[in-house]
Chain A
Amino acid sequence: MILSLSKDNIQVVREQDVVLLRNRVKEVAVKIKMGLVNQTKLITAASELLRNMLRYANGGSCLIEVVSKGRENGVRLTFTDKGPGIADLALAMKDGYSTGRSLGLGLPGAKRLVNEFDLKSKVGEGTTVMILKWANG
Chain B
Amino acid sequence: MDKIPILRMGNFLLVTIQVDLYDRLALNLEADLVQMVSKTNARGVLIDISAVSIVDSFMGRIIGNIASMSKIMDAETVVVGMQPAVAITLIELGLPLKGVHTALNVERGMDLLKSMIGSTEEESEEEEEDDDSVAE
Chain B associates with chain A: yes
The residues of A with any CB-CB pair to B shorter than 8 Å are 15-16, 18-19, 22-23, 36-37, 39-41, 43-44, 47-48, 51, 95, 102-103, 105-106, 108-110, 112-113
Task: State whether the Cβ of B89 lies closer than 8 Å to any Cβ in chain A.
Answer: yes
Secondary structure type dominating chain B contacts: helix
Contact call A47/B54, Cβ cutoff below 8 A: yes
Shortest distance from the beta carbon of A113 to any chain B beta carbon, whole Å = 6
Residues of B within 8 A of A44 (CB): 54-56, 89, 93
Task: State whether the Cβ of B134 lies closer than 8 Å to any Cβ in chain A.
Answer: no
Contact check: which of B22, B23, B93 meets A109 at CB < 8 Å? B93
Contact call B95/A113, Cβ cutoff below 8 A: no
Closest B residue to A105 using CB positions: B57
In angstroms, Cα B54 to Cα A40, docked, is 6
Contact call A41/B94, Cβ cutoff below 8 A: no
Give chain B interface residues in 75-95, CB to chain A under 8 Å: 83-86, 88-89, 92-95
Contact call A95/B94, Cβ cutoff below 8 A: yes
